[in-house]
Structure 1
Amino acid sequence: MTRIDFYTGVANVQAFACRAAQTVYRKEERLLVVLPDDQALQAFSRALWSFGDTSFIAHCEWNAAEAPSSRIWLATHFDIPAGPTVLLNLGEEMPVNPAGFSRILEVVSQEEASRAVARTRYRAYLDLGFDIHHHDMSDAA
Protein backbone atom coordinates (compact mmCIF):
# COMPACT_ATOMS: atom_id res chain seq x y z
CA MET A 1 0.00 0.00 0.00
CA THR A 2 1.19 3.49 -0.81
CA ARG A 3 2.39 5.52 2.16
CA ILE A 4 1.70 9.24 2.03
CA ASP A 5 3.66 11.68 4.19
CA PHE A 6 2.50 15.26 4.65
CA TYR A 7 5.23 17.63 5.83
CA THR A 8 3.43 20.76 7.00
CA GLY A 9 4.58 24.16 8.17
CA VAL A 10 7.72 24.04 6.01
CA ALA A 11 9.45 27.44 6.10
CA ASN A 12 11.68 26.93 3.03
CA VAL A 13 10.05 24.47 0.63
CA GLN A 14 12.94 24.37 -1.84
CA ALA A 15 15.58 23.63 0.80
CA PHE A 16 13.34 21.03 2.45
CA ALA A 17 12.64 19.39 -0.91
CA CYS A 18 16.37 19.26 -1.70
CA ARG A 19 17.02 17.48 1.60
CA ALA A 20 14.16 15.06 0.89
CA ALA A 21 15.55 14.35 -2.59
CA GLN A 22 18.98 13.77 -1.09
CA THR A 23 17.53 11.30 1.43
CA VAL A 24 15.73 9.32 -1.27
CA TYR A 25 18.86 9.40 -3.45
CA ARG A 26 21.03 8.06 -0.62
CA LYS A 27 18.55 5.22 -0.08
CA GLU A 28 19.07 4.38 -3.77
CA GLU A 29 15.37 4.73 -4.48
CA ARG A 30 14.03 6.34 -7.66
CA LEU A 31 12.29 9.70 -7.21
CA LEU A 32 9.94 11.74 -9.37
CA VAL A 33 9.74 15.41 -8.39
CA VAL A 34 6.68 17.13 -9.86
CA LEU A 35 6.80 20.93 -10.00
CA PRO A 36 4.10 23.42 -10.99
CA ASP A 37 5.79 24.84 -14.13
CA ASP A 38 9.01 25.04 -16.15
CA GLN A 39 10.30 28.02 -14.20
CA ALA A 40 9.93 26.14 -10.91
CA LEU A 41 11.52 23.07 -12.49
CA GLN A 42 14.58 25.03 -13.63
CA ALA A 43 14.93 26.74 -10.23
CA PHE A 44 14.72 23.41 -8.42
CA SER A 45 17.21 21.85 -10.83
CA ARG A 46 19.69 24.65 -10.06
CA ALA A 47 19.12 24.13 -6.34
CA LEU A 48 19.86 20.40 -6.66
CA TRP A 49 23.06 21.07 -8.63
CA SER A 50 24.31 23.46 -5.96
CA PHE A 51 22.76 21.87 -2.88
CA GLY A 52 25.94 21.50 -0.83
CA ASP A 53 29.17 23.43 -0.66
CA THR A 54 31.07 20.46 -2.04
CA SER A 55 28.29 18.25 -3.39
CA PHE A 56 25.26 18.12 -5.63
CA ILE A 57 22.28 15.84 -6.18
CA ALA A 58 22.41 14.25 -9.64
CA HIS A 59 19.12 14.43 -11.52
CA CYS A 60 17.57 15.08 -14.93
CA GLU A 61 14.27 15.87 -16.58
CA TRP A 62 12.09 12.79 -16.99
CA ASN A 63 12.43 12.76 -20.79
CA ALA A 64 16.20 13.33 -20.99
CA ALA A 65 18.39 10.77 -22.72
CA GLU A 66 20.06 9.93 -19.40
CA ALA A 67 16.74 9.41 -17.54
CA PRO A 68 16.89 5.59 -17.59
CA SER A 69 20.12 5.70 -15.57
CA SER A 70 19.11 8.57 -13.29
CA ARG A 71 17.51 8.03 -9.89
CA ILE A 72 15.87 11.48 -9.76
CA TRP A 73 13.52 12.74 -12.45
CA LEU A 74 12.01 16.23 -12.64
CA ALA A 75 8.69 16.89 -14.39
CA THR A 76 5.81 19.36 -14.51
CA HIS A 77 3.13 16.65 -14.83
CA PHE A 78 2.39 13.08 -13.79
CA ASP A 79 1.96 11.68 -17.31
CA ILE A 80 5.31 9.90 -17.54
CA PRO A 81 6.30 6.28 -18.15
CA ALA A 82 6.72 4.00 -15.17
CA GLY A 83 9.97 4.54 -13.38
CA PRO A 84 10.35 6.20 -9.99
CA THR A 85 8.65 4.61 -7.01
CA VAL A 86 8.74 7.69 -4.75
CA LEU A 87 6.93 10.93 -5.59
CA LEU A 88 7.91 14.32 -4.19
CA ASN A 89 4.89 16.41 -5.09
CA LEU A 90 5.73 20.11 -5.30
CA GLY A 91 3.10 20.67 -7.98
CA GLU A 92 -0.39 22.04 -7.74
CA GLU A 93 -2.22 18.81 -8.59
CA MET A 94 -2.65 15.42 -7.01
CA PRO A 95 -1.40 12.36 -8.94
CA VAL A 96 -4.07 10.63 -11.00
CA ASN A 97 -2.80 7.24 -9.85
CA PRO A 98 -1.33 7.59 -6.35
CA ALA A 99 -1.15 3.80 -6.00
CA GLY A 100 1.51 3.81 -8.73
CA PHE A 101 4.03 4.98 -6.12
CA SER A 102 5.24 3.20 -3.00
CA ARG A 103 5.53 6.54 -1.21
CA ILE A 104 4.32 10.09 -1.79
CA LEU A 105 5.85 13.12 -0.07
CA GLU A 106 3.56 16.16 0.09
CA VAL A 107 5.34 19.35 1.17
CA VAL A 108 3.16 22.11 2.60
CA SER A 109 4.48 25.60 3.20
CA GLN A 110 3.37 27.97 5.94
CA GLU A 111 1.17 29.91 3.51
CA GLU A 112 -2.60 29.58 3.80
CA ALA A 113 -3.04 28.76 0.10
CA SER A 114 -0.63 25.83 0.44
CA ARG A 115 -2.42 24.61 3.57
CA ALA A 116 -5.81 24.80 1.82
CA VAL A 117 -4.56 22.69 -1.09
CA ALA A 118 -3.04 20.22 1.36
CA ARG A 119 -6.32 19.84 3.25
CA THR A 120 -8.11 18.98 0.00
CA ARG A 121 -5.43 16.45 -0.97
CA TYR A 122 -5.40 14.94 2.51
CA ARG A 123 -9.16 14.34 2.36
CA ALA A 124 -8.89 12.86 -1.15
CA TYR A 125 -6.10 10.47 -0.13
CA LEU A 126 -8.04 9.53 3.00
CA ASP A 127 -11.19 8.86 0.96
CA LEU A 128 -9.12 6.58 -1.29
CA GLY A 129 -7.96 4.61 1.77
CA PHE A 130 -4.27 5.48 1.77
CA ASP A 131 -1.91 5.22 4.74
CA ILE A 132 -1.29 8.88 5.70
CA HIS A 133 1.33 10.25 8.09
CA HIS A 134 1.65 13.85 9.24
CA HIS A 135 4.92 15.58 10.17
CA ASP A 136 4.70 19.10 11.63
CA MET A 137 7.85 20.88 10.49
CA SER A 138 6.91 24.30 11.86
CA ASP A 139 9.48 24.04 14.68
CA ALA A 140 12.24 22.58 12.47
CA ALA A 141 15.26 24.74 11.87
Structure 2
Amino acid sequence: MGLKYSFIYPFSHWLLTLIISPFIVMMVSDSPYLNNIGAVFIMMLFGLLYSLPTFIIYIIGFFIFKKYNINLFILKTSLIFTALIGMVLTILLLFDQDEFVFIVSYGIIINILGLMLPISRKKDLVKK
Protein backbone atom coordinates (compact mmCIF):
# COMPACT_ATOMS: atom_id res chain seq x y z
CA MET A 1 0.00 0.00 0.00
CA GLY A 2 1.18 3.50 -0.83
CA LEU A 3 0.81 6.64 1.19
CA LYS A 4 -1.42 9.56 0.37
CA TYR A 5 -0.42 12.92 1.84
CA SER A 6 -3.32 14.60 3.59
CA PHE A 7 -4.08 18.23 2.76
CA ILE A 8 -5.33 18.64 6.34
CA TYR A 9 -1.76 18.50 7.72
CA PRO A 10 -0.59 21.99 6.66
CA PHE A 11 -3.76 23.66 7.94
CA SER A 12 -3.84 21.78 11.23
CA HIS A 13 -0.12 22.43 11.81
CA TRP A 14 -0.56 26.15 11.11
CA LEU A 15 -3.78 26.70 13.07
CA LEU A 16 -2.80 24.63 16.10
CA THR A 17 0.53 26.47 16.27
CA LEU A 18 -1.34 29.79 16.21
CA ILE A 19 -3.71 28.63 18.95
CA ILE A 20 -1.29 26.89 21.35
CA SER A 21 1.83 29.08 21.12
CA PRO A 22 0.34 32.27 22.65
CA PHE A 23 -0.56 30.29 25.78
CA ILE A 24 3.06 29.10 26.04
CA VAL A 25 4.25 32.71 25.61
CA MET A 26 1.84 33.80 28.35
CA MET A 27 3.14 31.13 30.75
CA VAL A 28 6.87 31.75 30.25
CA SER A 29 6.94 35.51 29.73
CA ASP A 30 7.70 37.86 32.59
CA SER A 31 6.19 40.83 30.74
CA PRO A 32 2.96 42.13 32.34
CA TYR A 33 1.66 42.90 28.85
CA LEU A 34 1.89 39.26 27.78
CA ASN A 35 0.62 37.67 31.00
CA ASN A 36 -3.10 38.07 30.47
CA ILE A 37 -5.74 36.29 28.45
CA GLY A 38 -6.46 39.35 26.30
CA ALA A 39 -2.89 39.31 25.04
CA VAL A 40 -3.34 35.67 24.00
CA PHE A 41 -6.18 36.53 21.64
CA ILE A 42 -4.29 39.51 20.25
CA MET A 43 -1.25 37.26 19.65
CA MET A 44 -3.52 34.77 17.86
CA LEU A 45 -4.94 37.48 15.59
CA PHE A 46 -1.57 39.04 14.77
CA GLY A 47 -0.01 35.58 14.44
CA LEU A 48 -2.63 34.72 11.84
CA LEU A 49 -1.88 37.86 9.85
CA TYR A 50 1.90 37.80 10.18
CA SER A 51 2.20 34.11 9.37
CA LEU A 52 0.35 34.27 6.05
CA PRO A 53 3.47 34.79 3.86
CA THR A 54 5.23 31.87 5.55
CA PHE A 55 2.11 29.73 5.28
CA ILE A 56 1.83 30.44 1.54
CA ILE A 57 5.44 29.29 1.06
CA TYR A 58 4.67 26.27 3.29
CA ILE A 59 1.64 25.31 1.16
CA ILE A 60 3.60 25.71 -2.09
CA GLY A 61 6.32 23.45 -0.70
CA PHE A 62 3.72 20.92 0.41
CA PHE A 63 2.21 20.75 -3.09
CA ILE A 64 5.60 20.46 -4.76
CA PHE A 65 6.63 17.61 -2.46
CA LYS A 66 3.23 15.97 -2.83
CA LYS A 67 3.45 16.13 -6.63
CA TYR A 68 6.79 14.31 -6.65
CA ASN A 69 5.79 11.85 -3.90
CA ILE A 70 8.78 12.76 -1.71
CA ASN A 71 9.75 10.58 1.25
CA LEU A 72 7.67 11.25 4.37
CA PHE A 73 10.69 12.09 6.56
CA ILE A 74 12.07 14.58 4.04
CA LEU A 75 8.63 16.14 3.57
CA LYS A 76 8.00 16.68 7.29
CA THR A 77 11.55 17.90 7.93
CA SER A 78 11.37 20.38 5.06
CA LEU A 79 7.97 21.72 6.11
CA ILE A 80 9.01 22.10 9.75
CA PHE A 81 12.22 23.84 8.67
CA THR A 82 10.23 26.19 6.40
CA ALA A 83 7.86 27.06 9.25
CA LEU A 84 10.74 27.64 11.68
CA ILE A 85 12.75 29.86 9.33
CA GLY A 86 9.65 31.87 8.38
CA MET A 87 8.65 32.31 12.02
CA VAL A 88 12.14 33.40 13.14
CA LEU A 89 12.50 35.88 10.26
CA THR A 90 9.05 37.34 10.87
CA ILE A 91 9.60 37.79 14.60
CA LEU A 92 13.07 39.28 14.19
CA LEU A 93 11.80 41.73 11.56
CA LEU A 94 8.77 42.86 13.56
CA PHE A 95 9.77 42.93 17.23
CA ASP A 96 12.56 44.58 19.13
CA GLN A 97 11.87 43.08 22.55
CA ASP A 98 10.66 39.74 23.91
CA GLU A 99 11.58 38.07 20.62
CA PHE A 100 13.43 35.27 22.38
CA VAL A 101 10.26 34.25 24.26
CA PHE A 102 8.28 34.22 21.01
CA ILE A 103 10.95 32.36 19.05
CA VAL A 104 11.36 29.64 21.68
CA SER A 105 7.62 29.23 22.35
CA TYR A 106 6.57 29.12 18.72
CA GLY A 107 9.61 27.03 17.76
CA ILE A 108 8.86 24.35 20.33
CA ILE A 109 5.22 24.10 19.28
CA ILE A 110 6.10 24.06 15.55
CA ASN A 111 8.49 21.14 16.15
CA ILE A 112 6.18 19.16 18.43
CA LEU A 113 3.10 19.54 16.23
CA GLY A 114 5.08 19.01 13.04
CA LEU A 115 6.38 15.70 14.32
CA MET A 116 3.20 14.49 16.03
CA LEU A 117 0.49 15.34 13.50
CA PRO A 118 -0.11 12.66 10.88
CA ILE A 119 0.73 13.78 7.37
CA SER A 120 -0.37 10.72 5.44
CA ARG A 121 -2.88 7.97 5.35
CA LYS A 122 -2.78 4.64 3.60
CA LYS A 123 -4.36 4.54 0.18
CA ASP A 124 -7.34 2.28 -0.06
CA LEU A 125 -6.94 -0.35 -2.72
CA VAL A 126 -10.02 -0.44 -4.86
CA LYS A 127 -10.50 -3.16 -7.44
CA LYS A 128 -11.75 -1.95 -10.77
Q: TM-score, normalised by structure 2?
A: 0.29
Higher RCO (Cα < 8 Å, 6 or more apart): 2
Higher Cα Rg, which structure: 2
Q: TM-score, normalised by structure 1?
A: 0.27
Please identify which structure carries the higher helix content: 2
